[in-house]
Amino acid sequence: MTGTPSTAEAARRVLVLTHTGREEARHVALACFKALITHGIVVRVPAQEAVELGLDLSLPEDGFEFAEPDHDLGADCELALVIGGDGTILRAVEVTHASRTPVLGVNLGHVGFLAEAEVEDVESTIDAIVHRRYTAEERLTLDVRVFHGGDEVFRTFALNEASVEKAARERMLEVVVEIDGRPLSRWGCDGVVCATPTGSTAYNFSAGGPVVWPAVEALLMVPISAHALFARPMVVAPTSMLAIEIIAGAAGTGVLWCDGRRAVDLPAGARIEVTRGDDAVRLVRLHEAPFTDRLVAKFGLPVEGWRGASARRRRESS
């Protein structure tokens, strides 16, 4: 760490992560730095991002901490403020997973389902942070393990989904899927998505899976372009284990992607096991809004003509 003020031990800290490739995000980040520091909050910034934002790491800067890549970025921070889209938020989830630091997203992307605030809400968002007017909502995660030859060769977690996909466009993936230790079906397919309720509006949604409210505890399995009689999206218990085996001797090989960020090649004979994760991800909420309203706002759903329950009650009483 560099640039740490002498009173840092007693100071409040906020980690700020930015999509530095976007000019608007850089401007918003610098404004957030100034506002947080003005209120006595120490701002922690990854060193590389600090350089990309024009901060000078060689000079001590009051109110800043510059973190090296091997540092636990979320340690001792009350939350992580993320300026970008869902991809940047998923990166924040990855680097703060060990510390379970709550993540607050300011959306500068397209849909931004994981974000709590839009860019025009930055001033009120900073005010909520300063006065601690926020709550942390726990979201179910996935524990993902890959086995080959009986040995565990890879392990990670996912907030949205773990997707097993074919490695080559011209070759179908041959898999057997299993739930709770029992085989369900064999598919020739482009892949299989295992998702959380949080991820139900992401890749799962694009693959034809159901939208599941975040308060519902469940695991989802959705085949992608499967050539099979029974290949429907499935919602199973949160205590279930989902497994996908790539048929040994089949021509196609696969790739496992977790949240679109962490990948590992899957040879024929590989087995992927997905269960509920031990550690939930904490997403910051600034206000209590029904998930229905979020769906309508993020997807731009048409709701003209709705009069609500009060209108029905008036009609029934007249």
Please check whether residues 131 and 176 belong to one and the same domain: no
Please check whether residues 112 and 150 belong to one and the same domain: no
Domain end residue (candidates: 119, 139, 159)? 139
Rounded distance between C-alpha atoms, residue 217 and residue 209, angstroms: 16
Inside any domain, residue 129: yes
Please check whether residues 186 and 65 belong to one and the same domain: no
Q: Which residue carries 């809400």 as its tokens?
A: 121
Q: Find residue 179's DSSP bridge partners.
A: 182, 242
Please check whether residues 127 and 158 belong to one and the same domain: no
Inside any domain, residue 299: no
Inside any domain, residue 233: yes
What pLDDT was estimated at residue 4?
47
Please check whether residues 131 and 153 belong to one and the same domain: no
pLDDT by 10s per residue, the chain, length 318 = 544 444 444 689 999 999 999 999 999 999 999 999 999 999 999 999 999 999 988 876 789 999 987 778 999 999 999 999 999 999 999 999 999 999 999 999 777 899 999 999 999 999 999 999 999 999 999 999 999 999 999 999 999 999 999 998 878 899 999 999 999 999 999 999 999 999 999 999 999 999 999 999 999 999 999 988 888 999 999 999 999 999 987 777 899 999 999 999 999 999 999 999 999 999 999 988 899 999 998 899 999 999 887 656 655 665
Please check whether residues 118 and 236 belong to one and the same domain: no
Q: Looking at the chain, how many residues does it have? A: 318
Count how many domains the chain has: 2
What pLDDT was estimated at residue 279?
94
Please check whether residues 131 and 202 belong to one and the same domain: no
Question: What is the value of pTM for the model shown?
Answer: 0.90
Q: Give the residue numbers marked as catalytic.
A: 86
Domain end residue (candidates: 89, 120, 139)? 139
C-alpha distance across the termini of the chain, in Å: 69
What pLDDT was estimated at residue 6?
45
What pLDDT was estimated at residue 120?
92
Rounded distance between C-alpha atoms, residue 203 and residue 159, angstroms: 12
Segment holding 118, helix H or strand E: strand 117-118
| Structural domain harbouring 67 | 8-139
Inside any domain, residue 281: no
Please check whether residues 183 and 111 belong to one and the same domain: no
CATH number, domain of 253, equals 2.60.200.30
CATH number, domain of 115, equals 3.40.50.10330
Please check whether residues 132 and 251 belong to one and the same domain: no
Q: How far is CA 90 from the centre of its chain?
A: 4
Rounded distance between C-alpha atoms, residue 278 and residue 26, angstroms: 35
Please check whether residues 126 and 148 belong to one and the same domain: no
Please check whether residues 77 and 103 belong to one and the same domain: yes
Please check whether residues 153 and 92 belong to one and the same domain: no
What pLDDT was estimated at residue 314?
55
Inside any domain, residue 294: no
What pLDDT was estimated at residue 114?
93
Rounded distance between C-alpha atoms, residue 193 and residue 222, angstroms: 5
Inside any domain, residue 287: no
Inside any domain, residue 296: no
Rounded distance between C-alpha atoms, residue 286 and residue 269, angstroms: 46
Inside any domain, residue 314: no
Mark 65-102 as b/e (b = at least 16 C-beta within 10 Å): bbbeeeeebbebbbbbbbbbbbebbbbbbbbbbeeebb
What pLDDT was estimated at residue 311?
58
Domain end residue (candidates: 139, 155, 189)? 139
What pLDDT was estimated at residue 252?
76
